[in-house]
Amino acid sequence: MVNMTTEAAVISTKGLNLYYGDNHALQDINISFERNRVTALIGPSGCGKSTLIRCFNRMNDLVDNVRVQGQILFDGEDIASPRTDVVEIRKRIGMVFQKPNPFPKSVYENVAYGPRVHGIKDKKILDQIVEKSLKDAALWDEVKDRLHASALGLSGGQQQRLCIARTLAVEPEVILMDEPCSSLDPIATTKIEDLIEELKKRYTVIIVTHNMQQAARSSDYTGFMYLGKLIEFGETCQIFEAPGERLTENYVTGRFG
């Protein structure tokens, strides 16, 4: 097990339990995510990994019958509390989803949307933000001549990087990625993985993936979840080379899942 001091942790949970009605979807989760590191969450479908990261920016709020117990600390503050400003949290903790979901607007507008919502109106500043975000998402060179064309005309991989640029535009601290490459081809996947490597210099990245090789390649830490429990958490090379738990071993070697 990796011991992480709470100072180094950006997000941590203490005794986190989540119920969908009678379904106990997350069971006593205690986990910490270190700043400027990539942490991967792996586990078979339905194990709770997406549910867990959706807790971090309160995306589960919209689900009926959901009940959350325990603490989710973000920079020391409990974000599970009803007093939390959800919009503020979603600005600081951005999310990229499985399927690229650009708005049916231009490339430019997709990226400028967030900053506008947060009150930036100056065209010059917006231009700068759009350019910087697209550059950071390694997309600028491909779209700089078509900033005002529809984002829906981009390829799947480009759309996904656009969604990452859209997330970066509001300068989050943490980026949650829920299987960001599962609908992309291998080349687009490689680009996203290279991008993750770059992003971790400035952001904390938490990625949910079904692709074990992707977790092994792109993350510093890996957590393995099974049936709503965090079974094992450790440095990625340890989890994939010599896992401590039999369940992890069986999952990463493809014996179930």
Partner 1 sequence: MGEKFHEELKELRREFCEYSNFSSLMLKDAFEALKSGDVDLSADVNARKKQLSGWSDHFDERLLTLIALYQPMAQDVRTIICTLKMNTAFYRIGRYGKDIAILVPDFATSGHLGRMLNLPYMAELVFSMIDDTLEAYRSGNISLISDFSGRDDRVDDLRYSVFREGVTYMMEDPRTISRCMDYVMIARYLERCGDHCCSMAEKIHYMVTGEKVDIS
Residues near partner 1 (CB under 8 A) are 212-213, 216, 240-243, 248-249, 252-255
Nearer to partner 1, 26 or 252 (CB): 252
The burial of 20, by beta-carbon neighbours within 10 Å (0-12 exposed, 13-18 middle, 19 or more buried), is given as middle
Q: How far is the CB of 244 from partner 1 (least distance, A)?
A: 8
CA 173 – CA 10 distance, rounded (Å): 9
- The Cα–Cα gap between 98 and 4 comes to 29
CB nearer to partner 1: give 13 or 248.
248
**Least distance to partner 1 from the beta carbon of 212, Å?**
6
Q: Which is nearer to partner 1, 27 or 182 (CB)?
A: 182
Q: Which of 106, 116, 94 is nearest to 171 (CA)?
A: 94
The least CB distance from residue 248 to partner 1, in Å, is 8
Q: How far is the CB of 180 from partner 1 (least distance, A)?
A: 20
CB of 253 to partner 1, least distance (A): 5
Query: In 1-85, which ranges are continuous DSSP H helix?
Result: 49-56
231 CA to centre of own chain: 20
Tell the smallest beta-carbon distance from residue 239 to partner 1 (Å): 8
**Which strands form 77-78's sheet, in the order they lie side by side?**
23-34, 9-20, 66-74, 77-78
C-alpha to C-alpha distance for 23 and 11, rounded to whole angstroms = 25
CA distances from 166 to 25, 102, 249 (A): 30, 9, 37
Do 152 and 184 contact (CB within 8 A), yes or no?
A: no
**With respect to partner 1, which residue has the nearer C-beta, 105 or 217?**
217
Q: Smaller CB distance to partner 1: residue 80 or 225?
A: 225
* Nearest to partner 1 of 69, 253 (CB atom): 253
Listed residue (28, 53, 52) closest to 205, CA to CA:
53
Give the shortest CB-213-to-partner 1 separation in angstroms: 5
Nearest residue (CB) to partner 1, 151 versus 216: 216
SS3 of residue 181 by DSSP: coil
